[in-house]
Chains A and B, each alone.
Chain A
Amino acid sequence: MYRYDEFDRTLVSERVAQFRRQVARRLTGELSEDQFKPLRLMNGLYLQLHAYMLRINVPYGCLSSAQLRALARIARRYDRGYGHFTTRQNIQFNWIALADAPDIMADLAAVEMNTMQSSGNCVRNVTADHYAGRAADEIEDPRVWCELLRQYSILNPEFSYLPRKFKLALTGSPHDRAAVAVHDIGLRMYRDEQGRPGFEVIVGGGQGRTPAIGKTIRQWIEPRHIILYVEAILRVYNLYGRRDNIYKARIKILVTALGIDRFRELVDAEWEQIRATGPVIDDAERARIQACFAPPDYDRAAAGDDPSPAAGISDPAYDAWLRSNVVAHKVAGYAIVNLSLKAPGRVPGDLAADKMERVADLADRFSCGELRINHRQNLSFVDVRRRDLPVLWRALSTLELATPNIGLASDIIACPGLDYCSLANARSIPIAQDLSRHFADTDKLQQVGSLTINISGCMNACGHHHVGNIGILGVDKRGAEFFQLTLGGSADENPSLGDRLGRGLPQADVPAAIERIVDAYLALRGDDETFLQTYRRVGIEPFRAVVYEPQGTTRQVA
């Protein structure tokens, strides 16, 4: 993975020192909260319902075991012993004291991590396919471009006060695991007719209160042009994005208002100007970064290993785990293993400090000391030798991290919701816990198959509800918590936004409604059809009927 050199290290420690001074000025009252707010936000420090929350970047999802151990120490020393992995390849601590924040940042800097621009109206953490560099279906590892973009955006003097936040996601695979179509800019790699790899550039996607699937602004661009092309987009956005209304300030609103064709004209005109004079990506610098992502020395002999070793395990849970949590690797004899942070009844994305340390140990033992965070709030080991799978499964099982549910109904995304968040209408976490208990039965899970359930506590959509196959949105009805369901959303390479099912339901009715939806799907599905395929074939009506007209069984909503 990328390692800081003296320049990165200096920059991050100078940032920590700067923030330390700012916090000191705040604590003495020299800065008012109003003046301090933009400064802390640029450093990932939010004020939530009960305490400060600190958001730490895990650039494009890559984390080392040493970094995870540092996070565990922070969780224990400065928080309440756990951290929360988010949908944007960040980790958040929810119980931070302002006076501690600079020390935490210094601890992070010591393991080459930072919180810069994890909030604020600037370019946020660059996210990517969490299997980058390892997936069997990948064209090229996108991480060198991710890192170049990360450096380009950090403390960018021109683009640190954009109209609104700006999120970039990249994938090097035709199969999109990074939800690139719902980002301000999404880059998807594919080969042109001559077989050359390049990026499709998608712009203006997003979630929040005005969800939008991004539009293709450029079919194919050579990767080495990507920084300048992104610069052209950022400049057009910085100049013309709306600043009069924060709800209309995202780039998606500009793209919709101008139309993609007009927007493209502006960007291309800008790009023509800068491509002649602007900096090209330096080959030597690119090679330096590329070298950081060199794969480990794989054992050639691994190719001869038993691909699905059982090692005497006759537990059906192991087979289920192999099916749903273990994924094909580029290299024969190796596997990608997903660690589920969604055991029944757990808070999606939360991980306790002692488990972080155990996971770090397992990463050292089984996966070259590295792991990944993904946008579905789970972790992945990306270099596991297949013959180690049984031992790893046992170890993960004792940690409750081997729930065989990746991509299945209980692998739920949930935002922090009203338990933490000052913007929330409703509690997302208890719904997620209820549903995961509800789908605790492995056979039922496997029978239902691929199904994403995403929960947001308000229309800001941090829990990706618009792109869940089933989306659950917390709404406020005269002071009471209600939940609005959407069906048919998807964040993969055929993205779609969910359709509203009907009026909101009280919390107690949500599990039963989901159950009816799932049962209706099981009754309607054709051979091998996923929930999404069935939904796209039959439409919303059959589902509406079972939820709202189930022979008088649902409680009537006020």
Chain B
Amino acid sequence: MTTLIKDGQAAKDIYLRIDGDDPIPDGGALLVSLPVWQDHWQRLTRRPDPIGVVLASHEHPEVIADDLENFAVIALEFPTFRDGRAYSYARLLRDRYGFSGELRAIGDVLLEQLHYMERVGFNAFELAGDDPLAELETARGDFSVWYQGAVDGRRPASVLRQARTSASK
């Protein structure tokens, strides 16, 4: 069992997963695989309920870059925690393609990685474990300094250094 954490809160997952030949119901929020989206986008976009898409780790978000307005959620899959492609996908989705909806990390998501994931633009996580919210809090508390700018808007050390120097002048 996993728990959905969104924007730092436990959230109810309203989305039904649709993959392969799963029938597409007429009502309800759906989270569909990329092939399902590609095959049935006309039908899916006629429905009134929210749609999300799941990208496997070999599916580059470029292929949906023109479709983003249709999606309330994009879920990026980590088939194993070692597969780091989705960090770049997240960053591209936020920075380059301008996706502002829910960006969800699914699959093999480790506590130690949440920190990195938030920084590249994920704001939702499907987490295993007994108390995932507490885990997220711990992971967030691990660091208060970052060297790189990223998409989470936290100011990197270089900017803080200059701010401090000019404040002391």
Contact = CB atoms under 8 A, between A and B. Distances in A.
A558 interface: no
A375 to B, nearest CB: 25
B145 A158 contact: no
Contacts of B161: 5, 7, 285, 288
Contacts of A154: 147
Interface in A130-185: 151-152, 154-163
Given A157-B150, A162-B84, A10 B60 contact: no
A279 interface: yes
A549 to B, nearest CB: 49
Interface stretch (A90-98, A235-243, A389-397, A417-425): A235-243
B88 A158 contact: yes
B88 A239 contact: yes
B160 interface: yes
A38 interface: yes
A239 B86 CA distance: 8
Interface in B153-167: 157-162, 165
A161 B162 contact: no
A282 B160 CA distance: 12
Contacts of B87: 157-161, 238
A159 B138 CA distance: 22
Contacts of B115: 157
B123 to A, nearest CB: 14
Contact of A161 (B82, B91, B119, B150): B82
Given A7-B160, A282-B158, A284-B165, A161 B144 contact: no
Contacts of A35: 110
Contacts of B138: 21
A243 B87 CA distance: 15
Given A38-B81, A157-B119, A238-B88, A151 B147 contact: yes
A519 interface: no
B25 interface: no
A22 B148 CA distance: 24
Interface string A268-288: 000001000101001011001
Interface string A5-32: 1011011001101100110000000000
Contacts of A7: 145, 157, 160-161
A204 to B, nearest CB: 19
B91 A121 contact: no
A279 B81 CA distance: 28
A159 B147 CA distance: 13
Contact of A11 (B60, B117, B145): B145
A275 to B, nearest CB: 13
Given A155-B146, A235-B88, A238-B87, A161 B81 contact: yes
B96 interface: yes
The A interface is mostly helix, strand or loop, or mixed, namely helix
Interface residues of A, number: 38
Contacts of B145: 7-8, 10-11, 14
B131 interface: no
A288 B160 CA distance: 13
Contacts of A121: 82, 84
A39 interface: yes
Given A11-B157, A162-B84, A157 B144 contact: no
Contacts of B119: 157
A43 B82 CA distance: 16
Interface in B74-113: 81-85, 87-88, 91, 95-96, 110, 112-113
A147 to B, nearest CB: 11
A459 to B, nearest CB: 23
Contacts of A156: 147-148
**Chain B, interface size: which category?**
35 or more
Contact of A285 (B96, B110, B158): B158
Given A285-B158, A285-B162, A288-B161, A155 B84 contact: no
Interface in A202-240: 235, 238-239
B91 A152 contact: no
Contacts of B159: 282
B14 to A, nearest CB: 28
B67 interface: no
Nearest to B115: A157
Q: Which of B88, B159, B162 has the most CB of A within 10 A?
A: B88
B28 interface: no
Interface string B38-82: 000000000000000000000010000000000000000000011
A273 B96 contact: yes
B35 interface: no
Contacts of A163: 84
Contacts of A288: 161
Nearest to A9: B145
Contact of A155 (B88, B95, B143): B143
A22 B84 CA distance: 21
Nearest to A21: B138
Q: Which of A151, A161, A285 has the most CB of B within 10 A?
A: A161
B149 interface: yes
B142 to A, nearest CB: 5
A155 B146 CA distance: 8
A38 B157 contact: no
Contact of B157 (A8, A158, A159): A8
B147 A39 contact: no
A251 B88 CA distance: 16
B162 A282 contact: yes
A105 B116 CA distance: 22
Interface in A378-433: none
Interface in A30-57: 35, 38-39
Nearest to A281: B158
Contacts of A157: 87, 115-117, 119-120, 146, 148, 150
Question: 9 closest A-B pairs (Cβ-Cβ)?
Answer: A161-B84, A157-B119, A7-B157, A157-B116, A151-B147, A11-B145, A285-B158, A158-B87, A18-B142
17 contacts: A7-B160, A8-B145, A11-B145, A15-B143, A38-B110, A156-B147, A157-B146, A157-B150, A158-B87, A158-B91, A161-B82, A161-B113, A163-B84, A238-B88, A279-B149, A284-B162, A288-B161
Given A8-B145, A8-B157, A285-B162, 16 more contacts: A10-B144, A11-B147, A121-B84, A155-B146, A155-B147, A155-B148, A157-B116, A157-B117, A158-B87, A158-B91, A159-B87, A160-B116, A161-B116, A235-B88, A238-B88, A282-B159
